Structure 1
C-alpha cells in the first residue's frame, strides 16, 4: 500500500482569526495535529501534496464569487500555509516527494494533475487533512472515491465552519464513501 497525504487549504485565509473565509478556532485547534501528521508522513517516506485554493483578484466569473467573499487570492499572504504547517512545509518543500498544487475548485482533483501524479507513484490510498471538511475535503474525497482510491480522513486534522457541517462530512466519508476515519 502506497499512501499520499493531501493537505487541503490549511491557509491563513481559512484559519486565522482575520482570515477572509475562516473556520477560526475549530481550524486553529487542528494546527498541532496537521503539522505532526505531515512531518510523520514525510519521515515515513510518503508523498505529500499541498492542494491550495488559488483565486485571481477580481475574477467575477468563478462560481465561488457568488457564494463566498474573496479568499486565497494569488499573491497575497492569505494563501500562506498557517502556523506550524507552514514551518513544516518550509523544511520539506524541496524534496521530490512534496508537491504544491494550485486548485481553482473545491476538489484537489478538479483541473489539476493530481490523479496523474498519484498513479505515476502507484499511490492507492489518500490521507486527507485540512479545511473545510464539508467543502474542499469532501469534494476531494468524492473524486478520490470515484477514481478508485482508498480514503483515510484524520478526524483531528480537518475542520469546518460549524460543528454540524463537520459531523455531516465525517458521516458521509465513512458511510457513503467507505473512508476510514482515523480518530
Structure 2
C-alpha cells in the first residue's frame, strides 16, 4: 500500500491513447498486447479507475497519440522506429474506427482532450503542461498504453516538470512481459513517486 496522498483539486488523471487499435477486438495493435492485457485485467482496471476518479471529481485529461494521416512522417529527417511502424501500419488512422476512442473510454463533459503527441511523451510539443497548470494540478495519475513507451515517457516528463507521478501497474499493458517488467521494476522506480495496482490506488483515493 502507498502512503501517497492525492489532494482534492490538485490531482489529475491522465488517460493515454485509449484507441480502438489498442484496446478493442479487431484493433491493429490489440493482438500484440492482448496476452498481457488479459493477464493484468487491463480493461477491467481502466474501467474501475475511471469510475473512481470521476466519483471523486478528479479531472480527466485524454492524452492522445497523433492519429495517422496520409503523408505523416514522410520526408522526416529522423522518424523514430515507433513512428516508422505507424507510417507503415497506419495505426490510429484519423477518421477510421481504429483511431476512434474505445467505447468505454470516451471524453465526457468537462474532460480535457490534450493536443495529440507525435512521439511518446504526452508533454512534448503539446499543451498538456499548460492545461494541467491552468487547473492547478500538481499530482498526476497516468494510465493507458503502452507501459514502456508513451506511459513511461509521459511520466518521466511529468517528473522533470515537477509533478508528483503515480503509475498504475495493472491499468496498462505492453507488447512483452519484459517490457512490463522494465517499466515497473527497473525504470519506473527511478522517477515515479508511487507505482500502485488499481485496487491500491482506489484505496488511497478513498
- Considering the TM-score relative to the shorter chain, is it more than 0.5? yes
Distance 1:132 1:73 in 2: 17
Q: Which residue matches 1:52?
A: 64
CA distance in 1, matches of 2:71, 2:90: 8
Paired position in structure 1 for 2:99: 79
Query: Are the equivalent residues in 2 in contact too, given 1:173–1:179 (CA < 8 A)?
Result: no
**1:26, distance to aligned residue in structure 2 (A):** 2.6
Query: Secondary structure of the equivalent of 2:27?
Result: coil
Q: 1:142 aligns with which of 150, 156, 162?
A: 156
Q: Which runs of 5+ in 2 are unaligned?
A: 1-6, 198-206
Shift in alpha-carbon separation, 1:26–1:83, aligned structure 2, 3 A: farther
| RMSD over aligned Cα atoms | 1.9
Contact 2:21 2:92 in 1 (8 A): yes
TM-score by length of 1: 0.87
Distance 2:61 2:182 in 1: 25
1:100: which partner in 2?
A: 113
Give the secondary-structure state (helix, strand or coil) at the position aligned to 1:136.
Answer: helix
2:105 match: secondary structure: helix
Structure 1 equivalent of residue 201 of structure 2 = none
Structure 1 window deviating more from structure 2 (123-132 vs 164-173): it is 164-173
- Partner residue of 2:192 out of 175, 178, 181: 178
Once residues 95 and 70 of structure 2 are traced to their aligned partners in structure 1, the CA distance between those partners, rounded to angstroms, is 9
Give the length in aligned residue pairs: 176
Asked if 2 retains the 8 angstrom alpha-carbon contact of 1:142 and 1:177, the reply is yes
Match of 2:204 in 1: none
Aligned partner (choices 32, 37, 45) of residue 49 of structure 2? 37
Gaps of at least 5 residues in structure 1 are none
Larger Rg: 2
Q: TM-score, structure 2 length as denominator?
A: 0.78
Decide whether aligned partners of structure 1 residues 79 and 56 sit closer, same or farther in structure 2, where only a CA change above 3 A counts. same
1:4 corresponds, among 5, 9, 12, to 12
Change (3 A) 1:65 1:108: closer
Question: What is the alpha-carbon distance in structure 1 between the residues aligned to residue 72 and residue 192 of structure 2?
Answer: 36
TM-superposed CA distance for 1:179, in Å, is: 2.8
